């Protein structure tokens, strides 16, 4: 929700929401074009009476090439304001750069989506090479688990890059939320290619130092040996997994 802020309250989310062709989105498109750089932005998307927790990718010509509506909402706040994305959201697109040959298959998830194993698996099964994952993970007793364990596990189990961009520091909004940072690019072997610090470092230096903003090379061929050793995608046993998409099995799991 980088376009508007996340913890700004239901009323502000509604006020600031706009369609994917809205004026703020047009400015992001223009920014991508003028910088010749693909950009991903999270925002509250308005469509009729509904608002989605959405993210969009513009290519380096400013064209909107991928759009995603969060499929797994988190908590009472999100359920009060957002409609979840439905069938077809967890799909891949290809990013072509105007200055580099080749293309990159990518998909999007947002925040809580990554804590379920299914969304990343669905994207990997469609051939995604990288998942872009904007998130606003709040501070709490297990705040290290998602950036340090869950997200690397998603990368490893799917042999996929993940670009994890997490809000860091105090929220720009009416509540006292704080977010834990630790944005990272993780390789298909589950190891960090780069990682930004958490809010402690940010506060200490009173600014975001250069260590927080790094580039990582995304080159799948470098991980061929890892993929061969543990062929998580090709050695799957889909014939055993039917219950994962069985609604009755899901309902039965409502354990007291």
Question: Binding residues for a copy of itself, per CB under 8 A?
Answer: 71-72, 74-75, 84, 86-87, 89-90, 112, 115-119, 121-122, 124-127, 129, 142, 145, 148-150, 152-153, 156-157, 189-191, 220, 229-230, 232-247, 249-250, 252-255
Nearest distance, CB of residue 76 and a copy of itself, angstroms? 10
Nearest distance, CB of residue 128 and a copy of itself, angstroms? 10
Other beta carbons within 10 angstroms of residue 34's beta carbon come to 9
Nearest distance, CB of residue 233 and a copy of itself, angstroms? 4
Measure Cα distances from 92 to 167, 188, 219, 240, 253 in Å.
24, 17, 18, 25, 30
Distance CA 46, CA 157 (A): 34
- Cβ distance to a copy of itself smaller for residue 23 or 238: 238
The token pair at 206 is 């009173």
Distance CA 104, CA 107 (A): 10
Nearest distance, CB of residue 13 and a copy of itself, angstroms? 20
- Cβ distance to a copy of itself smaller for residue 30 or 246: 246
Q: CA nearest 37: which of 26, 28, 48, 46?
A: 28
Nearest distance, CB of residue 224 and a copy of itself, angstroms? 10
- Cβ distance to a copy of itself smaller for residue 150 or 171: 150
Q: What residues have CB less than 8 Å from 131, skipping those under 6 apart?
A: 106, 107, 108, 109, 120, 123, 154, 160, 161, 162, 163
- Cβ distance to a copy of itself smaller for residue 176 or 239: 239
- Cβ distance to a copy of itself smaller for residue 56 or 122: 122
Contact 90, 124 (CB under 8 A): no
């Amino acid at each position: 929700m980088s376009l508007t802020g996340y913890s700004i309250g239901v009323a502000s989310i509604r006020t600031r929401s706009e369609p994917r062709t809205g004026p703020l989105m047009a400015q992001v498109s223009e920014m991508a074009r003028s910088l010749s750089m693909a950009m991903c932005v999270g925002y509250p998307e308005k469509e009729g009476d509904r608002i989605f927790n959405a993210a969009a990718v513009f290519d380096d010509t400013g064209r909107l090439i991928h759009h995603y509506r969060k499929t797994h909402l988190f908590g009472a706040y999100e359920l009060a304001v957002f409609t979840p994305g439905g069938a077809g959201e967890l799909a891949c697109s290809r990013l072509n750069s105007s200055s580099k040959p080749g293309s990159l298959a990518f998909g999007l998830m947002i925040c809580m989506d990554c804590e379920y194993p299914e969304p990343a698996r669905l994207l990997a099964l469609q051939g995604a090479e990288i998942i872009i994952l904007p998130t606003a993970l709040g501070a709490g007793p297990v705040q290290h688990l998602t950036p340090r364990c869950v997200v690397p596990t998603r990368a490893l189990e799917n042999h996929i890059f993940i670009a994890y961009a997490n809000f860091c520091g105090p929220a720009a909004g009416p509540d006292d939320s704080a977010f834990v940072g630790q944005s990272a690019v993780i390789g298909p072997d589950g190891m960090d290619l780069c990682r930004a610090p958490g809010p402690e470092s940010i506060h200490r230096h009173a600014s975001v130092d250069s260590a927080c903003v790094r580039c990582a090379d995304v080159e799948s061929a470098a991980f061929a040996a890892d993929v061969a050793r543990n062929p998580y995608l090709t050695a799957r046993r889909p014939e055993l997994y039917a219950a994962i998409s069985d609604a009755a099995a899901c309902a039965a799991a409502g354990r007291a």
